[in-house]
Structure 1
Amino acid sequence: MGRLWHRQQVFSLLDVLNRSSDSSRHACAFIGAGDAVASYADLRQADVFLIAAGDDQIAACCSALAAAGKLRPGSIVFHCSGALSSLELVSASELGAVVASIHPIRSFASPQQVADHFSGTWCGSEGDAAALAVLGLAFNAIGAQLVEIQRDQKTLYHAAAVFASNYLVTLIDVAQQAYAAAGIAPELALKMIEPLLIESAANAFRLGPAAALTGPIARGDLATVTRQHQAVQQWQPQVAALYEQFALLTTDLAGRKKNGQS
């Protein structure tokens, strides 16, 4: 985001403080602006502060920023955590700063790729109106689409993203392992999974999950489901438990498909 804001001349980036000097210098090089600093005391006064630390360090970083005397009434402090709300920034609020959390709903496995294709990214946002007024314009300037979320449902909101992203990757891994256990080379297994997954996902987005559902449960072929569960149980009991849980959820989804619900 710093890279994009610098490119679009949205913000003038002053300083970057990371866990190590090398990391700070690398970040500044990637962004194309800013100075790497070694401590909170070295940070210059700014209008906006972004805390992009790990979730378990956000509150501590905010407290350190506040203790360093860098905040004043009207300063904007925000973080990008998907799981935590802007309440993590209470130490800034106590000094009169306005706070927010804005979470880009993207996988950041490749920061360069995200920076090159950020336009259209949905971002869950909540916090003080004064902070969101400024940050909303800044995010819109780099192509983001903000969606307001409930502060007290932030963890459930983030769980939805984990289901859609992280656990999908885990399911691909499980499918690859099952194919491999059935005698198919892992590399070939991924090639077999790819078109199936892409087509199923495209149908779900185009038609809705219920209408897109196919397979033995949707057909009412419970004998096949039972045989599959037994085969998975013999191969990997832990995965069989996952299969069973998904079968229950899919049965519910199949019921909605039968009733014409989306």
Structure 2
Amino acid sequence: MKADKRLIVAIDVHSMDKVQQLVETLGDSVNYYKVGMELFYSVGSQVITYLRAQGKDVFLDLKLHDIPNTVGQGLATLTGLGVSMLNVHASGGPAMMKAGAEAVRKKADEMGIERPKLIAVTVLTSINSAEWSALGYDLDLSKQVVHLAKLAQQAGLDGVVASPQEAEAIRAICGDEFVIVTPGIRPSGAAINDQSRIATPAGALKNGAHQLVIGRPITAAENPRQAVQAILEEMRDKA
């Protein structure tokens, strides 16, 4: 996969004006965008319509987590928006993930559209070892991430969201075709912000990541397009 298809830029704003400004600034240097809760809850599906009209792929990052029927119905509705990727929380369990995968497949078939990939969030990259212990889990954090990845694969999902630190172990267990989308990417010299389990773009790809989600190191840069080009150059060396 080419580097520009591996880069997903997170649009962490809350207005269409700011979305349009960013997309116009980045132009054809970026083909894939992530729309998260802040933006989707602020402007709704119009941002998806806009990005698709610009010829962009969209990862709709809403992290659904509820009972199987509710998640299935929700994903069926979201599939109708024509995005390229959706996600759920793996901690919702095998039944929930399986219901979600089946709902996405069925809805895409009904509409005659390409099925969006469905991936599962393992453990948020903002959680460190101390927070993990406070949650009371017995299994080591890294082992839990791999365990959840295996559950997601068995439930019929296309991949997972996981930190760069766990990507190599997931790739070894789940194979090369299993998608690993990695947030917590920080180019050399970039601020860590609220992330804990991080890596550079080259480091994440070396560890087995499939696609990288990068937000503030690009969107908060003095020259966002230049920041993208620098990241893509680093990714091309490892792609």
Normalising by structure 2, we get a TM-score of 0.34
Structure with more of its chain in strand, by fraction = 2
Structure 1 or 2, whichever has the larger Rg, is: 1
Greater helix proportion: 1
Q: TM-score, normalised by structure 1?
A: 0.31
